[in-house]
Amino acid sequence: MSKEEKNGISTLDAEAETAEEIGNNHVGTSVDTPLRKDAFDLSDDEKIDMIKKHFAEIMHILGLDLTDQSLKGTPQRVAKMYVKEIFSGLDPKNRPKASKFDNKFDYSDMVVVKNIDVTSFCEHHFLPFLGKAHVAYISSGNVIGLSKINRIVEYYASRPQVQERLTLQVANELKNAMQTEDVAVFIESKHLCVSTRGIKDKESSTVTTEYSGMFKDEATQQRFIDYIQTDTEM
């Protein structure tokens, strides 16, 4: 083997080791989801068609028989699921319109929406992480429809993610929509890339928080935490 070939293999091994380390440590790169400039040049139908072909090739490489009745529709189903469902939050046309209204009744305390379902996919292994989000804001003169907060969480969760980024994206979206810095986001989830591979720890969960404005005050933070820990199941 030539020196150049050995160097090439060493480089590939180093890149693989770095990639594995990043994935195992769940390292993110920025608050913004990493997207290419041409991310939306293709239509949804074109993306589905291309993903279907590539996923069929993955299944073929794994040795699966795509002529089997149970498997032959899988590439199409997976492609449609990726584009239309679990990664639909990549496309800005699906961004929810966070309509706000004047706070005419002068409500000045915190609004808390808790136990919002979170279903997202770790961008390092494309395995789900599942949990709950708890979101609060203090009005600066506007209020927002409560379901819009759920939709904001769903939108940013519906993309390859790291939990820290998801937490910040939800907080930033709500701050921009409400024109207030007084926002809190608390997310707790279980990551299948931790429970089904690697360490295979099925009990641990991950908590991420973002407190801004008045929520940086410890007493206000504690009130928020008390609210989300209160058993209010209906």
User: Which of 26, 154, 173, 193 is flagged as catalytic?
Assistant: 193
User: Which of 26, 124, 161, 210 is flagged as catalytic?
Assistant: 124
Q: Is residue 191 among the annotated active site residues?
A: yes
User: Which of 26, 154, 191, 210 is flagged as catalytic?
Assistant: 191
Q: Is residue 218 among the annotated active site residues?
A: no
Q: Which residues of 13-49 are buried (b: 16+ CB within 10 A; e: fewer)?
A: eeeeeeeeeebeebebeeeebeeeeeeeeeeeeebbe
Amino acid identity at 61 = I
User: Which of 26, 123, 154, 210 is flagged as catalytic?
Assistant: 123
Q: Is residue 4 among the annotated active site residues?
A: no
Cβ–Cβ under 8 Å, residues 157 and 94: no
How do 110-122 and 160-161 pair as beta strands? parallel
Which backbone phi and psi does 212 adopt, to 5 degrees?
-140, 165
User: Which of 26, 122, 173, 210 is flagged as catalytic?
Assistant: 122
Q: Is residue 76 among the annotated active site residues?
A: no
User: Which of 26, 134, 163, 169 is flagged as catalytic?
Assistant: 163
Beta strands in 39-195 (DSSP E): 100-102, 110-122, 128-138, 142-144, 160-161, 183-191
Q: Is residue 122 among the annotated active site residues?
A: yes
Q: Is residue 163 among the annotated active site residues?
A: yes
User: Which of 125, 134, 169, 210 is flagged as catalytic?
Assistant: 125
Residue 208: in which H helix or E strand, if any?
Answer: strand 206-211
Beta bridge partners of 138: 110
Q: Is residue 21 among the annotated active site residues?
A: no
Q: Which residues are catalytic?
A: 122-125, 163, 191, 193
